[in-house]
Every structure is written in C-alpha cells, then in structure tokens.
C-alpha cells in the first residue's frame, strides 16, 4: 500500500489532535482507515411517485406550495408548521416540527422538494428535510456512517472529502489487472469515490461489488496460503494400505454404500495415501452413514501398519461406537478397545500398556484419549466426531499423540457451504449428501399448545406399540423472563398423565455426567419410555426404538438445532414423527416452523437458517471462527465468495503469484496478516 495513505489522520489538513482522538476510538488511525470507513446504508433522495409509496415509508417529492404556511406553537419552544403541497395530481399536507423560521422562507407557488415519512391515511408527509427550488439530481443518495463522540455523520463526510482532495491521487490499485478485467471491476480510486459520494444506485452497486470481491479475495488468499504451507510443512505419513483387503472389508458390510459414501471414502483414502497430512472435514446429515466411512478409514490405516483413534463427546456415544465398530472389525482380526473416564484401575492400566505396545489397533473413547498417560505405538489416523464439541486445543493434543497422523473431523451439523468454505477454509471438505436406501422420512408436524391432549393421545398410541418418545424443553426451571414450558414442569405433568402405564425420565444440563449417563442408559434399554430433556440429547444418542420427538416452544430454537433434535428419532425401521409445539409471534418464527415441516434435508435447512439468522449466530458467539467483513455478506454474496476462493486457490499454487509485480499488493497483504510467518492471524 502507498506509504502516504499509511500516515496518521493528522496528515489531513483540517484534522487536529482532538478529532484524531475521536477517530482513533472508531479504529480510524490512518488516511487509508478513513477511506475504508464505509457507509452502512444510504439515505435515498430519489423522487417518488406517491401512487407507489407505502404507508410510513420515507419519500422525497417535488411540488408547488398551495397554501400560506400555518404556524402553531405548543408546549415550551415547540412548534408545528403546516403547508399544502401540490405533488402531481395529489394535494397533500406537509408538516415541519420545531422549524418556525421556515414560515418566512416558504411562499405560495414556490417549487420545493421535501423528504419525510408518508402517512397514507392522512395524505401527509412529516418532513425532516427541505430543498428550495426544483429537485436537484446531485444528491440522490447520501451515505450514513457509524460515528462516535460529538462527530456527526455530516462532519465525517466533510473529513472524507478533505482526505480525497489531499490524497485522492495517491490511491493505487491493489488487485491484479487480470482479475479487474475478468470481473469488470471498478478500479480502487473510483470505487472509493463512488462508495462515499455516489450519484446513482449503479455507483453504489459497482463500488460494493468491487469491495466485496476484494475482502473475500484477501481472506481466501490467507486461508489458501495457510493450507498450502500446512500441507507442505506437515510431512504426513503416506499410508500404504492394502486396497484388496479394504475392498474385501467393504463388501463384507451388512449394507451397500451409497454413491455419496463411496465418493467421500475415495477422497479420504486418497488423502491417507499421499505424503501430506490429511486435514479433512466430513459433513453428513444425521443417519447418512459417517460412522461406516470412518470405520473403513480406520480399517485401511490398520492394514497400513498404523493405529487409529476415534474421539467422541459422550461416554454413551463412545460405547455405542465401540460396540458397532468392534462387531464389524473383529472378524478381520482387528482389536478395538474403549477408553472413557469410567474405565479405571487394573483394566485401565492394561489398556494403556497394550496400546503403547501396539497390541490394540483402534482406540475409541471420549476426551480420556487425550490424557497425558495415553501413549500410542504408532498412531496413523485420528477421527474426531462432532468436532465442534471439542476445543481447538483438545483436537491438537490428540493429533500430537502421533507423528503427524492424518486427521478427519466429522460433524452431523450440516454447515452451509458458504460457511464451510470460509470458517473451514484451510480444510478439505467432504459431504455425504445422500441418505441410505430404505430409511423412512420423519413426518414433521407443527401444532399449537391447545392441541396438547391430541398429541399425548398420539404418544400413548405409539408407546402402546412398544415404542419410546423424547420430549424436549428449552429451560430447566421456571423463569419470569420467558414464558416457556420448562423441563421440570413438563416432567411432572407427564408423570401424572402416564402414571402407572409408562415410566418418565428427566435429563438436563445441571445433572452430573454420571447421572446423565444413567438416565440415558435406562432410556436406551427401554427401562424409561418417555425422556423429558433439555437439548443435551442433541448430539449422538442412538435409540432406534424411539419414534416420537415432541419439542415444546419450538420457535425458540434455530433450524439447525431443531433438525439435530429431530434426528434423534427415525433411526430404526419404524415410521417416526416429530411434533413442533409452537405459537410463534414473529414472521421469522412462523417461517422456521413452515420450513421444518417441508424439508428433511439438513443442508437446505442450514442455508435457510443462515439466511434467517446470519453467520454470527449460526455457530453461536463462542465459535466465532467467522471473520468480520466490512462490506461483504457471506450469505448474500456467496457467489463472490466461491469465485474468490477458486481464484485464491489457483493464485497460491501458481509460480507467477510469488514472482510477478502484478501480485505484489496481494503478497504484501499475506505478509502483513502473518499467514506466511506462522504468526497468529489478525
């Protein structure tokens, strides 16, 4: 970047220390920072036809004054000035509050332009702006900025104007000419001028297009560089697995792989064979068969002479995985063991010794796998299930149990493609987007709370067939703030209703992990028929006998979470049902319920969820992983995001990028961001 633009804002004539202090609070330290403090919206001053204007919309109209101004004072220093204005074929009333001085400036037959809120019922405009004389096209759009202290939007516009008059000629291009031509993008100087001082809506659109692409390209260049250097410096293990044995194992499975499972298995095996360390995210909806793919990968690793590890978030899930994976691998002479905090004493010591001696091929467990005492003989493959449940640090510790083992992360949370290629830009992403044949679609219904009796009767009918049911509530105890059914209340109601016929269990986040495990175990072996729970059952519990899922106050959950909860049923051969009990007050709430009843596709739902909630809320605040962009919006600008990612991937791999002057600005950005030096990224 040009050194002149890196000077502090006080280099701009007209900005003193006091103003510089306010700007510093807004993170505007340099001339370039001021140029890049973009408007967050624009006031639209284009003339409107009142026939098209909606009630309470902000409008700008030009008209001829049709009556003498009438001024009325009321209260202390308060006034209302009223005139009648002929706008086309409409004779409307225009009201100005607390601007008595206008009385002497407005005369009958004057042509004026006013902007304000349109009241369709009263045929009046409450004006906040007036322009004397005919409408001027010079000011169709006025930018609105975030400001602090006593700096006004008008004052900030003046400062940006000063910066342009002094440093406008020093704004140089940062994008390669080839990319500007490819996408017909504005050059940087024109784009900055157009975004701050637009004449038309097309100016705003084209300036925005340029900065959206620039932001995405900068970010993706960083991600692709990280990925390239991560791969080149990882010296992974090239696993020479026995392909014939792997094929034999696949044909022995009690089910046929779907096309999607075959595709992702090939992607994973290809990574394992290469000398680079695998860093792959495997996404698949609940029940899409990720565990089968993981088992094939573990089998392949063992045939290559390595050990495998599978880390899952809960003990029950670890036990279920250990049981199902062992039954598939044992016939091939592969030894699997389970390690959780519940395994203690002599048995634990034996497992740890045998693991270190290489007598155990595959270790399945919870975060007990990353304890200091756990040592592998030769770890080749690490798989983390529900990877977002483990912190970055926990995943790193497990990876370091071996010499750069291949790493596979699995998640049943369908992450929208736009988020996957941004938040996980340094990973390869595999998607199982197809369900195994013969799985019945879960029937989903939206019901109001007054239909509860009918729902309980329906539950009873299913329970009488020997099935089980989940009932999910958003809160544990009563809250004055939220009028929602809480788990303890619902438990008491259902206990009374089903008393003597069916056993009701209660599970929530305040129980100790041993208590949760005990309740869950009782439910999984049908000692409990109805499980009332908060969302702690969201991840990884497999009870094929459960066919009913009732979710109280369903409008309080996001689509992705509702879909995860729904995925707890439909795991057996019987038809399953999900009932959403909800009385949503907002349009977004109603839309969520409608979408849930219309689709079972987690990826479609996740895209809709992203549109309704925005990227910041999708993972929740803690898992920010999502970069903040000034102009770009990952949801609405996803095409630009994909284009930038593809361009960045090609550039980083090309020799020209590292040598030609055309790419110097992008290289500088990489070095400044720390992506090439191994420093923490900004």
- Residue 537, pLDDT > 80, answer no
Cβ contact 272:412 at 8 Å:
no
Paired tokens of 211? 């900065």
Task: Give 409 or 268, the one with higher predicted confidence.
Answer: 268
What is residue 620's predicted lDDT score, i.e. its pLDDT?
A: 44
Secondary structure (DSSP) of 350-371: HHHHHHHHT--SEEEESGGGGS
Angle made by CA atoms 440, 443, 446, in degrees to the nearest 5:
165
The rounded distance, in Å, linking the Cα atoms of 23 and 32 is 12
Q: What would the mean pLDDT of 575-597 be, rounded to a whole number?
A: 90
| pLDDT-derived band at 624, boundaries 50, 70, 90 | very low
CA separation for the pair 30, 164 (Å, rounded)? 13
Pseudo-torsion of CA 626, 629, 635, 638, nearest 10°? Answer: -100
CA-nearest of 562, 566, 564 to 549 is 566
pLDDT of 95 over the 80 cut: yes
Asked whether the whole model's pTM tops 0.75, one would answer no
- pLDDT score, position 615: 53
Instruction: State the average pLDDT over residues 364-375.
Output: 84
- Closest C-alpha to 477, from 466, 467, 489, 495: 489
DSSP string, 587-638: HHHHHHHHHHHH---HHHHHHHHHHHH-HHHHS-STT--SPP-SS--TTTTH
Instruction: Tell me if 426 sits within 8 A of 227, measured CB to CB.
Output: yes
Element housing 649 (H / E): helix 638-653
Q: Where residue 672 falls among pLDDT bands split at 50, 70, 90?
A: confident
- DSSP class of residue 239? -
Residue 423 CB partners (closer than 8 Å, separation 6+): 415, 619, 625, 626
Q: How far apart are CA 184 and CA 40, in angstroms?
A: 24
- Kindly state the tokens that stand for 318: 């670890």
Whether residue 406 contacts residue 623, with contact meaning beta carbons closer than 8 Å, is answered with: no
So what's the pLDDT on residue 182? 95
Mean pLDDT of the chain: 85
Instruction: Inform me whether the pLDDT recorded for 664 exceeds 50.
Output: yes
Write down how long the chain is: 682
Q: What is the DSSP string of 501-523?
A: TS-EEEE-TTS-HHHHHHHHHHH
Q: Which position has the higher pLDDT, 195 or 600?
A: 195
The mean pLDDT value for 623-650 works out to 78
Q: Residue 374: CA atoms inside 13 Å, Cβ hemisphere, count? A: 26
* Sign of the CA dihedral with 542 first, then 545, 548, and 553 last: negative
CA-CA distance, 488 to 493, in Å (whole number)? 9
Instruction: For residue 131, list its beta bridge partners.
Output: 113
Reported as a single tens digit per residue, the pLDDT across 107-153 is 999 999 999 999 999 999 999 888 888 887 767 888 989 888 888 99
- On the CB side of 356, CA atoms within 13 Å amount to 9
pLDDT value for 623? 40
Whether pLDDT at 346 is above 80: yes
β-bridge pairing 279-284 and 428-432: parallel
Give strand ranges (E) for 55-119. Answer: 58-65, 70-74, 78-87, 90-97, 111-119
pLDDT tens per residue, range 501-526: 999 999 877 777 778 878 888 998 99
Residue 443 has pLDDT above 90, yes or no: yes
Lowest mean pLDDT among 62-66, 327-331, 454-458, 662-666: 662-666
Confidence at residue 682, expressed as pLDDT on a 0 to 100 scale: 34
DSSP assignment of 398-441 equals HHTTSSS-EEEEEESS---HHHHHHHTTTSEEEEE-SPPTTPPP
pLDDT at 264 over 50: yes
Q: Are 529 and 548 in contact (CB under 8 A)?
A: no
Output the six-digit token pair for 577.
Answer: 């049902």
Going by C-alpha positions, the residue among 539, 564, 565 that lies closest to residue 550 is 565
The C-alpha atoms of residue 37 and residue 10 are separated, in whole angstroms, by 16
pLDDT in tens, 292-342: 999 999 999 999 999 999 988 878 788 888 988 999 999 999 999 999 888
Per-residue confidence band for 425, with pLDDT thresholds at 50, 70 and 90: low
Contacts of 152 by beta carbon, 8 Å cutoff, 6+ apart? none
The two structure tokens encoding residue 440: 């019945």
The confidence band for 477, taking pLDDT boundaries of 50, 70 and 90, is: low
DSSP state at residue 385: E
Distance between CA atoms of 432 and 292, rounded to whole angstroms? 12
Q: CB under 8 Å to 370, separation ≥6 — which residues?
A: 311, 394, 397, 398, 401
Percent of the chain with pLDDT over 70: 89
Tell me the C-alpha distance between 268 and 436, whole Å. 19
CA 375 to chain CA mean position, Å:
36
How far, in Å, CA of 309 to CA of 364, rounded? 6
> What is d(CA 335, CA 360) in angstroms, rounded to the nearest whole number?
5
Closest CA to 445 of 350, 345, 529, 554: 554
Tokens, residue 132 = 């004397």
Helix axis angle, 664-673 to 201-232, nearest 10°:
60
Of 394, 358, 364, 409, the closest CA to residue 379 belongs to 358
Tell me which of 542 and 483 has the higher pLDDT.
542
Is the pLDDT higher at 487 or at 401?
A: 487
């Amino acid at each position: 970047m040009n050194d002149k633009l890196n000077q502090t804002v006080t280099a701009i004539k007209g900005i003193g220390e006091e103003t510089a202090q306010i700007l510093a609070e807004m993170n505007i330290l340099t001339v370039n920072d001021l140029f890049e403090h973009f408007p967050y919206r624009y006031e639209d001053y284009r003339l409107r036809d009142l026939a098209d204007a909606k009630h309470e919309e902000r409008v700008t109209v030009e008209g001829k004054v049709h009556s003498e101004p009438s001024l009325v004072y009321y209260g202390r220093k308060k006034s209302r000035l009223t005139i009648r204005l002929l706008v086309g074929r409409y004779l409307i009333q225009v009201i100005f509050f607390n601007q008595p001085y206008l009385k002497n400036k407005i005369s009958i037959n004057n042509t004026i332009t006013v902007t304000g809120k349109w009241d369709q019922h009263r045929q009046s405009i409450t004006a906040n702006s007036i322009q004397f004389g005919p409408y001027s096209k010079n000011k169709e759009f006025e930018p609105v900025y975030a400001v602090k202290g006593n700096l006004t939007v008008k004052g900030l516009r003046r400062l940006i104007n000063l910066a342009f008059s002094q440093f406008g000629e020093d704004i140089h291009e940062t994008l390669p000419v080839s990319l500007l031509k490819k996408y017909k993008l504005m050059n940087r100087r024109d784009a900055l001028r157009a975004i701050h001082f637009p004449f038309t809506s097309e100016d705003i659109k084209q300036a925005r297009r340029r900065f959206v692409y620039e932001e995405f390209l900068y970010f993706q260049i960083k991600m692709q560089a990280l990925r390239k250097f991560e791969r080149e410096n990882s010296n992974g293990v090239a696993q020479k697995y026995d392909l014939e044995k792997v094929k034999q194992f696949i044909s022995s499975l009690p089910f046929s792989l779907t096309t999607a499972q075959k595709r992702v298995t090939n992607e994973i095996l290809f990574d394992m064979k290469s000398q680079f360390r695998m860093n792959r995210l495997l996404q698949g909806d609940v029940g899409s068969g990720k565990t089968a793919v993981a088992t094939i990968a573990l089998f392949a690793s063992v045939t290559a002479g390595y050990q495998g590890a599978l880390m899952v978030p809960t003990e029950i899930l670890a036990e279920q995985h250990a049981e199902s994976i062992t039954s598939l691998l044992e016939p091939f002479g592969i030894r699997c063991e389970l390690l959780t905090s519940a395994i203690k004493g002599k048995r634990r010591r034996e497992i740890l010794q045998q693991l270190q001696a290489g007598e155990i091929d595959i270790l399945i467990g919870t975060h007990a796998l990353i304890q200091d005492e756990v040592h592998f003989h030769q770890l080749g493959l690490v798989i983390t299930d529900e990877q977002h449940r483990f912190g970055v640090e926990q995943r790193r510790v497990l990876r370091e149990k071996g010499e750069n083992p291949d790493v596979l992360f699995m998640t049943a949370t369908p992450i929208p493609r736009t988020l996957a290629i941004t938040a996980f830009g340094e990973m390869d992403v595999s998607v199982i987007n197809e369900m195994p044949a013969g799985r019945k679609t879960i029937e989903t219904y939206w019901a109001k709370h007054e239909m509860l009796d009918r729902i309980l009767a329906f539950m009873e009918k299913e329970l009488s067939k020997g099935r089980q049911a989940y009932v999910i509530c958003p809160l544990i105890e009563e809250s004055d703030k939220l009028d929602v059914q809480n788990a303890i209340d619902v438990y008491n109601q259902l206990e009374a209703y089903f008393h003597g016929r069916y056993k009701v269990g209660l599970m929530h986040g305040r129980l100790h992990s041993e208590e949760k495990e005990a309740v869950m175990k009782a439910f999984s072996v049908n000692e409990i028929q109805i499980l009332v729970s908060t969302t702690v059952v969201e991840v990884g519990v497999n009870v094929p006998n459960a066919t009913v899922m009732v979710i109280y106050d369903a409008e309080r959950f996001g689509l992705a979470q509702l879909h995860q909860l729904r995925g707890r049923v439909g795991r057996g051969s019987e038809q399953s049902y999900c009932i959403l009990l909800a009385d949503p007050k907002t349009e977004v709430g109603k839309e969520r319920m409608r979408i849930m009843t219309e689709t079972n596709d987690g990826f479609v739902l996740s895209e809709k969820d992203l549109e309704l909630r925005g990227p910041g809320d999708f993972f929740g605040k803690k898992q920010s992983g999502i970069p903040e962009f000034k102009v770009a919006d990952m949801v609405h600008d996803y095409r630009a995001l994909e284009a930038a990612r593809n361009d960045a991937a090609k550039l980083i791999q090309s020799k020209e990028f590292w040598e030609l002057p055309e790419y110097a600005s992008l290289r500088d950005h990489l070095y400044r961001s720390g992506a090439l030096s191994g420093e923490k990224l900004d």
